[in-house]
Structure 1
Amino acid sequence: MHENTEFPVPVYAAIELSKTTWLIAMLSPGSNRVKLRQVRGGDAVGLVALLENARMNAERLAGAPAGIVVCFEAGYDGFWLARFLHKHGIRTSVLDSTSFLVNRRSRRVKTDRLDAESMVQMFRSFDLGDKTVCREVRVPTPEEEDAKRVDRERLQLSAERTRHVNRIRALLNLHGIRDVKNLWGGDWREWLRAVRTADDRPLGRHLAAELGREFERLDLVHQHIRVLDRQLEDGLENGTLQVPNVEKVHQIAALKGIGKLSAVLLVSEVFHRQFANRKCLASFLGLAPSPYASGGVKHDQGISKAGNRFARRLLVELAWCWLRYQPESDLTKWYRSSFAAGSGRSRKIGIIALARKLAVAIWRFVEDGLVPPGAAMKAAAN
Structure 2
Amino acid sequence: MRGWIAPRLLPKWWCYQPSTLEGLMAVITRSPDCTGTIRTDLGAIFVSLELSRSTWLVTSLSPGGGEKMSRHQVDGGDLAGLLERFATLRRKAEARTGRRFPVIVVQEAGLDGFWIHRALEAEGIESHVVDPASIAMPRRRRRTKTDRIDGEMLVRTLLAFKRGEPRVCAMVKAPTPEHEDRRPLVRERQELTAERVRAVNRIKGLLFAQGIRDYRPLRRDRRQRLAELRGGDGRALGPHLQAQLARLLERLELLLEQLKALLAALKALAAEAQAAAAGTDAAVMARLLEIKGIGLGFASVLFTEGLFRPFANRRQVAAYAGLAPTPWRSGTIDYEQGVSKAGNPRLRATLIQLALAVAAPSAADRTQPLVPRPGQAERRPLQKVMITALARKLLVAVWKYVTQGVDIEGMAMTTA
The TM-score normalised by the length of structure 1 is: 0.86
- 1:302-348, CA deviations, whole angstroms, 9 ceiling, x for partnerless residues? 22122122222221222222234xx47xx9999x98689x9994433
**Aligned CA distance change for structure 1 residues 76 and 292 (closer, same or farther; 3 Å):** same
Match of 1:182 among 202, 214, 217: 217
Match of 2:388 among 349, 352, 375: 352
Match of 1:273 among 301, 304, 309: 309
CA distance in 1, matches of 2:150, 2:83: 21
**Aligned CA distance change for structure 1 residues 56 and 110 (closer, same or farther; 3 Å):** same
Q: Secondary structure at the match of 1:66?
A: coil
- State whether structure 2 residue 143 is matched by structure 1 residue 108: yes
Q: Secondary structure at the match of 2:200?
A: helix
Q: Return 5+ residue gaps in structure 2 as ranges.
A: 1-39
Match of 1:225 among 259, 272, 276: 259
- Counting only pairs closer than 5 Å after superposition, residues 164-183 of structure 1 correspond to structure 2 as 164-183=199-218
- State whether structure 2 residue 135 is matched by structure 1 residue 94: no
Q: CA deviation at 1:20?
A: 1.2
CA distance in 2, matches of 1:241, 1:40: 46
Q: CA deviation at 1:84?
A: 0.5
Q: Does the 8 A contact of 2:306 with 2:347 survive in 1?
A: yes
Bigger mean CA deviation after superposition, 299-308 or 220-229: 299-308
**Aligned CA distance change for structure 1 residues 126 and 257 (closer, same or farther; 3 Å):** same
The TM-score normalised by the length of structure 2 is: 0.79
Question: 1:57 aligns to what?
Answer: 92
Match of 1:191 among 217, 225, 242: 225
- 1:187-244, CA deviations, whole angstroms, 9 ceiling, x for partnerless residues? 3222233334445444444433333322222211111111121122234335699895
Matched letter for residue 223 of structure 2: R
Q: Return 5+ residue gaps in structure 1 as ranges.
A: 1-5
Structure whose CA Rg is larger: 2
Q: Does the 8 A contact of 1:289 with 1:304 survive in 2?
A: yes
Number of residue pairs aligned between Structure 1 and Structure 2: 368
Q: Secondary structure at the match of 1:136?
A: coil
- State whether structure 2 residue 151 is matched by structure 1 residue 151: no
CA distance in 1, matches of 2:228, 2:394: 47
Match of 1:302 among 330, 338, 341: 338
Q: Does the 8 A contact of 1:250 with 1:260 survive in 2?
A: no
- State whether structure 2 residue 127 is matched by structure 1 residue 82: no
Matched letter for residue 211 of structure 1: L
Bigger mean CA deviation after superposition, 94-103 or 251-260: 251-260
CA distance in 1, matches of 2:41, 2:122: 18
Bigger mean CA deviation after superposition, 241-250 or 188-197: 241-250
4+ residue stretches of structure 1 with deviation over 6 A? 240-243, 331-334
Q: Secondary structure at the match of 1:9?
A: coil
Q: Does the 8 A contact of 1:74 with 1:137 survive in 2?
A: yes
Q: Secondary structure at the match of 2:171?
A: strand
Matched letter for residue 307 of structure 2: F
- Counting only pairs closer than 5 Å after superposition, residues 1-382 of structure 1 correspond to structure 2 as 9-29=43-63, 31-183=66-218, 185-238=219-272, 245-324=281-360, 327=361, 345-378=381-414, 380-381=415-416
- 1:135-176, CA deviations, whole angstroms, 9 ceiling, x for partnerless residues? 101112222222323222222222222232333334344445
Q: CA deviation at 1:33?
A: 2.4
Q: Does the 8 A contact of 2:274 with 2:286 survive in 1?
A: no
Instruction: Report which structure shows greater RCO (CA 8 Å, sep ≥6).
Output: 1
- 1:6-28, CA deviations, whole angstroms, 9 ceiling, x for partnerless residues? 98631111111111111111122
Matched letter for residue 331 of structure 2: G
Q: Does the 8 A contact of 2:128 with 2:171 survive in 1?
A: yes
| Percent identity between the two aligned chains | 39
Aligned alpha-carbon RMSD (Å): 3.0
CA distance in 1, matches of 2:148, 2:276: 41
Q: Secondary structure at the match of 2:342?
A: coil
Q: Does the 8 A contact of 2:328 with 2:337 survive in 1?
A: yes
**Aligned CA distance change for structure 1 residues 97 and 170 (closer, same or farther; 3 Å):** farther
Q: Secondary structure at the match of 2:317?
A: helix
- 1:112-133, CA deviations, whole angstroms, 9 ceiling, x for partnerless residues? 2222222122221112212422
CA distance in 1, matches of 2:41, 2:104: 9
Q: Does the 8 A contact of 2:320 with 2:343 survive in 1?
A: yes
CA distance in 1, matches of 2:364, 2:312: 26
